[in-house]
Structure 1
Amino acid sequence: MSFPAHTAVPGASGTSGARILIVDDEGVTRMMIRRVLEDYGYRVLEAQDGQTATRLCDNESPDLVLMDVRMPVMNGFDACRNIRRSLRSGHTPVLMLTALDDVMAVTLAFEAGATDFVTKPINWALLAQRVRYALRTSLTERELRESQLALARAQKIARLGQWRLDFGTGQIHCSRELRDMLGLSAPQALTVQDLLDNVSPEDRVRLRRFTHDLRRMQREREVEIRVSSPAAPAKYLFLSGDVVLDEEGRSCAVFGVAQDVSERRHAEARLSYYAHFDELTGLPNRVLFRDRVRTAVTAAQRGGRSFAVMNIEVDLLQRTQASVAQAASDRILRAVAQRLASVLHDRDSLCRLEADSFALLVTDVEGELEVAVSAKRLVDAFAVPLPVDDWELLAAVHVGLAIYPSDGQDVDTLLQHSGAARARAREAAGSSYHFYTADMHDRVIDRLNT
């Protein structure tokens, strides 16, 4: 057997430096292949049987394996299967050396996971080109896998998934990321009804309109829906889609993406809650109370009944905060809020203004007497001590009353005047309430005492 003559091919060094593992039990064959490949700038490893080749693939991670089929200890088919099962070399291209007329060996080689085959006797002029082609293909495939992995990671971070709705079959095909969002374990296709079953009832009409408009208008559309399933918690999904046209320009499918925006919606809900509610007591805060008073003003101007604003101060905290821990002080404040809320009617709206100050909106009142009865109910509620931890605490409650429209026709005026009336109530000993207008206060007290 003579050594092959070789002349370097211009431009053939695109994969130069790659490491090639030659596996053959014939030393002369390995030497001849080594000479050809080293002339092209490849680095060469050698093994004389499949078992050694498998070990070298795990330890050295060659860029390509050139392996004979028939060898002692472990043949090329079994070695190829082992290489394919390896985490480190599972994607390494494997070129099998087979006899020119051994069709069965070629078939078995591909079934074992071979990338390609090289026939014997070897055409030395083409060998390096086959290797170079396999390496370039492997590089392209690796870049594609890395790109797909990077895309999958980006989609996971962004909580993105892909979907496709086929108008002909009515089936929806979801990417793995979207299946994970929906809690689907198997990659089965969904029908529109399957998806609708998991969509919140109030969003089903919007989803149907979304798909209908996509098909009819043939341009990108967007919609946000809330979905839930037994296998996954409820999620907010932002869907966007565009129509796929067939060769005749007719809409045949919709391709789109779905983004899980649940965290954003939950964060917005939390921000909205803290913007309108007191974190400690759970009551509406000053911002929400002002909105509700404005709504009451609008309703009264449209022919509704009058309403009253009560400005409430509980001075128990002023006497105890200096002597109890902050946690105990918070529990006292919550107990005060619960006592106030316990005597309210459904139409009443209680809020915490600040510290130990509260406000109460009483709507649909017929007159001053009804307002006074509500205020007296608040005062009487604190005649009984507050049980907090091991304490029994008494509170002095001062309530200032302002009635729309006689004591003010806007939020600021009503709060200001009810606050002034509360200051008058503080002048009395113990718990008390006072109307903003002095003569109204005296008149109501006389009626209550008759």
Structure 2
Amino acid sequence: MPAPSSKHRANRPGVVLVADDDPVMRLLMVEMLDGVNLDAIEAEDGLQAVQLARECAPDLILMDVEMPHMDGFAACRAIRDSENGATVPIVMVTGGDDLEAVTNAYEAGATDFVSKPINWPILGHRVLYVLRASDAIVRLRIADAQNRAVLAAIPDTFFRMDQNGVYLDYETGHTGGRHIGNRRESASGEDFAADECVGKHVSEVLPRDIAERMLEQVEIALRIRQVRSVEYELIRFGQVQHYEARLVATGSSEVLGLVRDISERKRAEEQIRRLAYCDSLTGIPNRQAFLEMLERELQRSKIGNKKFAVLFMDLDAFKRINDTLGHNVGDQLLQQVSDRLRDTIRPSDLLSRGDSLTREGFDPRPDQGSNLARLGGDEFTILIPDLDRVEHALNVAHRVKDAMRRPFIIEGNEIFVTASIGISLFPEDGDDCNSLLKFADTAMYHAKNCGKNNAKLYSSSLTMQIMSHVKLEVGLRKALQNDELYLLYQPQLDVRSSEIVGVEALVRWRHAERGIISPTEFIPLAEETGLIVPIGEWVLRTACSQARAWQKLTRRPVRMAVNLSAKQFKDENLSQIVLSALHDTGLDPRLLELELTEGTLMDDAKATLATLEQLRGIGVYLSIDDFGTGYSSMNYLKRFDVRALKIDRSFISGLPQDSENAAITRAIIAMAHGLKMVVVAEGVETGEQLVLLEQYGCDLVQGFYLGRPSPAESVTGMLQSLWVPVAEK
């Protein structure tokens, strides 16, 4: 690929050379780079990579290790040996993550390395940060080169000093500098004249603390005969200037000192530190800064027998804001959240233990603690040191939570968010950083599960719950392959004839250790983890196969009802899965009923209509399950054109005593019949309910009174004794 034009490159932050013999990997890398606004040029092997590196001068190189003609290590060394290849960042992409692969990458001159398989979103951010760090280093080298040029033209200030700290000689640079009154500022920045220093003790020229450090290094330089240095700060012309005095023994009792202004170097180091420890979006400390600060606080508290708390805050439903309003609004919200956190937390809550950070840089004010940090995304942490009572941590958490509830004004719009906060305590909950942060995170998820907009303390029972949840998830992932899932079938009866006209398939799980696990426990877990999709496909195929078996046995059609979850319904392969199940089992599409909830149908009306049209084209029977608990309108019911409504069991359970449920049930039946839809009542448990539903004109019923969910063998007997053909719809 040719190098981008200079005009195009001006609108991009950098150009990356992608060297890989695999065209698919190159394509993926180019797509990844384009996603983070970077241009790319491509090389098919190591030789071409070296040639393009010399001709195009890329800002960064992504180099695969295994390539023909010249491998990545050899290409990296060749680029480093070229005229302009010494400083370009080279990130090696290796299939091995062992120590030898890492060592070979760095010995070849690599800046960094990544291992396959590649986490593409993380790699994009990693490339950006390597480019940013490289740019900072380039700026630092430019500044250093400028300083060297100046010092080459203007000699450093130098002095001779005896072992007692008395200046024997003092010479300032004679080129450059500026006049201040009747004196000339030295090239090093110090404005001391020779007659102010010669013959005087260092404590008469420099502040006492600096003079003491200078004398200490003079004594060491004379004793060990090696170069020593002293860095110090002086206020010059209203600004803090940094100096370095290098001392070398020139005799048994004298040293030669050279003073250099290192302010530019210090500022560059400070900028690099900001890049490493400051969150670029919000300006507050990032994860690395917080972890280091937490480690320092942990050691301090252990020595001083102190307590502290870690607060882990996460914004509720932040993803919804990003998805609906855009990432730009989401970024502005995070900035305002960090500002509000700083304003909400009092200085007494966060006693600073080190350098502070603000959006503009390091802030020396002691009341702006670095105890607040953004870990990433919408996750923030707060450290409360020297904790006297647990109530204090809870008070801080509730104050933060209440502050988040106030509206945020972004682009003229009010945005409302809430926060869930978890709290872990040292030493009660853990005595290492990872445990404290993990337990605070665990407590935060507990707060979300308790309704969000909440603050919860960590307890060991939460870990037990999570471990149980994880163990259950692992078991569910193995349930299919271990044949632990099975189906029960509940008959549906025609109200008028009392004959079985269909069955509903219900999945159950027989765990190897726990026995039968309730669907109310494992179905939500399957939904959460996405396992509901393969489980749902297994249910569909098994149910279709059983329906076909009953059809062959009784020589009569048997309609089989199967529930579809929201995730299944949104699966773009749903139609193909249904067609495949019908084809493989030989079941007539008209004998398959797919049940959908109101929430599933209403989630995305446009996409719903398209999927329903595909299913109707297959010829399957469609119904709405648990009707009455959602929010369907008459207009949508007409547009969806389903064939049946299943009244939720919550309306049937109160019959005949509950007059409100009775009125709702009558209304649903009348509405459905008006739309030419069949009505099925779930949860029929008494004869009175059955009689009442018959009076209301209900078409089909199912429930414990008519038949409990049973194995296929039991239903076979029922079908052979009670059967009426299914009417063609």
**What residue in structure 2 maps to residue 205 of structure 1?**
212
1:301 Cα deviation from its structure 2 partner: 3.5
1:397 Cα deviation from its structure 2 partner: 0.4
Output the amino acid matched with 2:159: R
Secondary structure of the equivalent of 1:182? coil
1:130-165 CA-to-partner distances (Å, cap 9, x unmatched) read: xxxxxxxxxxxxxxxxxxxxxx98562598625232
Aligned with 2:446 (options 424, 430, 440):
424
1:389 Cα deviation from its structure 2 partner: 4.7
Output the amino acid matched with 1:362: I
**What residue in structure 2 maps to residue 163 of structure 1?**
158
- C-alpha distance in 1, partners of 2:341/2:441? 18
**What residue in structure 1 maps to residue 189 of structure 2?**
182
**What residue in structure 1 maps to residue 229 of structure 2?**
223
Output the amino acid matched with 1:308: A
**What residue in structure 2 maps to residue 16 of structure 1?**
none
Secondary structure of the equivalent of 1:425? helix
1:319-363 CA-to-partner distances (Å, cap 9, x unmatched) read: 333455666543321210122222324343221110110112223
**What residue in structure 2 maps to residue 330 of structure 1?**
331
Q: Is the 8 A contact 1:306 1:364 kept in 2?
A: yes
Secondary structure of the equivalent of 2:158? strand
Output the amino acid matched with 1:182: G
Aligned with 2:246 (options 240, 247, 262):
240
**What residue in structure 2 maps to residue 433 of structure 1?**
455
1:264 Cα deviation from its structure 2 partner: 2.7
- C-alpha distance in 2, partners of 1:200/1:279? 38
Change (3 A) 1:231 1:181: farther
Change (3 A) 1:157 1:313: farther
Output the amino acid matched with 1:360: I
Q: Is the 8 A contact 1:283 1:352 kept in 2?
A: yes
Question: What is the alpha-carbon root mean square deviation over aligned residues?
Answer: 3.9
Q: Is the 8 A contact 1:309 1:403 kept in 2?
A: yes
TM-score with structure 2 setting the length: 0.34
Matched, 1:379 2:374: no
- C-alpha distance in 2, partners of 1:302/1:218? 36
Output the amino acid matched with 1:436: Y
Q: Is the 8 A contact 2:159 2:170 kept in 1?
A: yes
Single out whichever of 186-195 and 264-273 deviates more from structure 2. 186-195
Aligned with 2:171 (options 146, 170, 173):
173
Matched, 1:363 2:385: yes
1:365-410 CA-to-partner distances (Å, cap 9, x unmatched) read: 3444443322222211123212345233211101112223333222
- C-alpha distance in 2, partners of 1:186/1:296? 46
Relative contact order (alpha carbons < 8 A, sep ≥ 6): 1 or 2 greater?
1
Secondary structure of the equivalent of 2:428? coil
1:389-444 CA-to-partner distances (Å, cap 9, x unmatched) read: 5233211101112223333222111221221221222234451122332879xxxx
Output the amino acid matched with 1:333: L
Q: Is the 8 A contact 1:176 1:187 kept in 2?
A: no
- C-alpha distance in 2, partners of 1:393/1:164? 64
- C-alpha distance in 1, partners of 2:448/2:173? 68
Change (3 A) 1:222 1:438: closer
Q: State how 1:245-260 maps to structure 2 within 5 Å.
A: 251=253, 254-260=255-261
- C-alpha distance in 2, partners of 1:368/1:228? 44
Q: Is the 8 A contact 2:424 2:439 kept in 1?
A: yes
Secondary structure of the equivalent of 1:333? helix
Change (3 A) 1:213 1:421: closer
Secondary structure of the equivalent of 2:273? helix
Mark the runs of 5 or more structure 2 residues left unpaired by the alignment.
1-146, 178-185, 351-370, 463-729
Q: Is the 8 A contact 1:158 1:259 kept in 2?
A: no
Change (3 A) 1:356 1:192: farther
Q: Is the 8 A contact 1:236 1:261 kept in 2?
A: yes
Secondary structure of the equivalent of 1:360? strand
**What residue in structure 2 maps to residue 297 of structure 1?**
298
Q: Is the 8 A contact 1:228 1:235 kept in 2?
A: yes
Secondary structure of the equivalent of 1:416? helix
- C-alpha distance in 2, partners of 1:359/1:194? 51
Q: State how 1:107-186 maps to structure 2 within 5 Å.
A: 156=151, 161-165=156-160, 170-176=168-174, 179-182=186-189, 184=191
Q: Is the 8 A contact 2:210 2:232 kept in 1?
A: yes
Output the amino acid matched with 1:238: E
1:217-262 CA-to-partner distances (Å, cap 9, x unmatched) read: 49454223335464595443332344455xxxx75x6434334333
Q: Is the 8 A contact 1:182 1:228 kept in 2?
A: no
- C-alpha distance in 1, partners of 2:411/2:338? 16
Q: Is the 8 A contact 1:183 1:231 kept in 2?
A: no
Single out whichever of 191-200 and 373-382 deviates more from structure 2. 191-200
- C-alpha distance in 1, partners of 2:385/2:235? 42
Secondary structure of the equivalent of 1:238? strand
Change (3 A) 1:330 1:209: same
- C-alpha distance in 2, partners of 1:241/1:368? 53
Output the amino acid matched with 1:225: E
Change (3 A) 1:400 1:218: closer
- C-alpha distance in 2, partners of 1:371/1:169? 57
Q: Is the 8 A contact 1:235 1:262 kept in 2?
A: yes
- C-alpha distance in 2, partners of 1:367/1:397? 23
Q: Is the 8 A contact 1:200 1:227 kept in 2?
A: no
- C-alpha distance in 1, partners of 2:317/2:278? 23
Secondary structure of the equivalent of 1:237? strand
**What residue in structure 2 maps to residue 19 of structure 1?**
none
Mark the runs of 5 or more structure 1 residues left unpaired by the alignment.
1-151, 441-450
Output the amino acid matched with 1:435: L
Percent identity (aligned): 20
